[in-house]
Amino acid sequence: MLTIERHDKESKGYVKAVENNILVGQMTYSKADDGKIIINHTEVNPAFSGKGVGKKLLMNLVEFAREKQLKIIPLCTFAKAMFARDKNIGDVLL
pLDDT in tens, the chain (94 residues): 899 999 998 899 999 999 999 999 999 999 998 899 999 999 999 999 999 999 999 999 999 999 999 999 999 999 999 999 999 999 999 9
Structural domain of 36 = 2-92
Going 18 to 86 to 81 to 28, the CA torsion angle's sign is negative
What is the model's pTM?
A: 0.94
Q: What is the CATH number of the domain that holds 16?
A: 3.40.630.30
The total number of structural domains in the chain stands at: 1
Report long-range pairs for 8-13 (Cβ below 8 Å, ≥24 apart): 13/37
